Amino acid sequence: MEGQDLRLDISKLEDLLLDYELNYSDYYIPEDLPEACHSRYCSVFGDHVPGFMLALSILGLLSNIALGTALAAYPHLWDQQHPGKAILSLVTIASGSFAAILLAFAVGWGAGGIFCKVAHALQYGSLFAQGLLVARSSCLLWGLPSCVFLVALWAVGFLLSVPTAMISVLGDGNWAICTLRPQAKLDPWYIIHVTLCVADFLILPMLMGLAKVTSKWRKCSCHLRIGLTWLFYLFWAPYGVAMILKILVQEELLRPSCPFQEALDFFFGLSVGLGMLHCVLCPLTNLGAAIRHQKTTQPDNC
């Protein structure tokens, strides 16, 4: 009797598996859902990211030290009116801080979750501070700013990174990775972080560019000056666009196809890499422009 019950149970299991096989098409995941897509970005670039960040960290520190030394030792190289030695000095400190923090992300993370939050706060705080200072350096409407105001503006940039620290998480496992990750759907800290990034990297330069065009059109004497410091926005504007697209997909306001989702992953990762280049190329560009300006203004002794 027990053997007969066992055979009956096995036959029912076989029928269940056969029924599942025949109706498998009712349970498949459509290809156009983002959840069904798997990003290939990490498999393509993942092994090269630590070395890339390590190289950028070293080169960024060297280039910012060179610019800082030139600012301190050769004050005659810099235009005292624009962007101003004080602004450029604070931008250099923020850029150097960003390059130094990259070293921690490049060599791995073993300092704990609190230091992960501090590192992300310093990293994005330096970016927010640079964005605000570059915007202030372009505005000639209010005259030359005081050093106290510039330091306060620099400090505000770092304070704006508090939401970034709140969403910083340290992964589990032997190779813990310090990342930014929303803790829940529509997490307020994550929304604030994205809003600040988009405002600082994208909306702020767009508004100032519009003001520049408007002032020229109206022939206003109080206008904005766009100089080499605006390279910072060129490096980070794509990241702002990528963050907008990413949050639209995450909050299901945009439901792209798998190819679009994979392309977005590549675009997001490459935009981060492009933004990181600012800590090397921006100080070198400012230093090179100052040296070139000095050579062209020197009298010819021949």
pLDDT at 257: 82
Residue scoring higher pLDDT (49 or 299): 49
What mean pLDDT comes out for the span 261-267? 89
CA-closest candidate to residue 153, choices 135, 138, 165, 139: 135
Number of H helices, E strands in the chain: 12, 2
> What ranges do the domains of the chain cover?
46-277
pLDDT at 2: 46
Class of domain 46-277: mainly alpha
Answer whether 102's CB lies under 8 Å from 49's CB.
no
> In Å, what is the CA distance from 198 to each residue of 12, 73, 121, 183, 228?
58, 36, 17, 20, 21
Q: What percent of the chain has pLDDT over 90?
A: 36
Rounded to whole angstroms, how far apart are CA atoms 24 and 44? 32
Q: What is the pLDDT of residues 14-64, one digit of tens each?
A: 454 444 344 433 333 344 444 456 667 777 777 788 889 999 999 999 999
pLDDT at 20: 38
> In Å, what is the CA distance from 220 to each residue of 2, 37, 74, 224?
97, 52, 35, 10
pLDDT band for 299, please (50, 70, 90 cuts).
low
Rounded to whole angstroms, how far apart are CA atoms 147 and 49? 38
What mean pLDDT comes out for the span 111-138? 88
The pTM (predicted TM-score) of the whole model is 0.80
Token digits of residue 244 = 């907008």
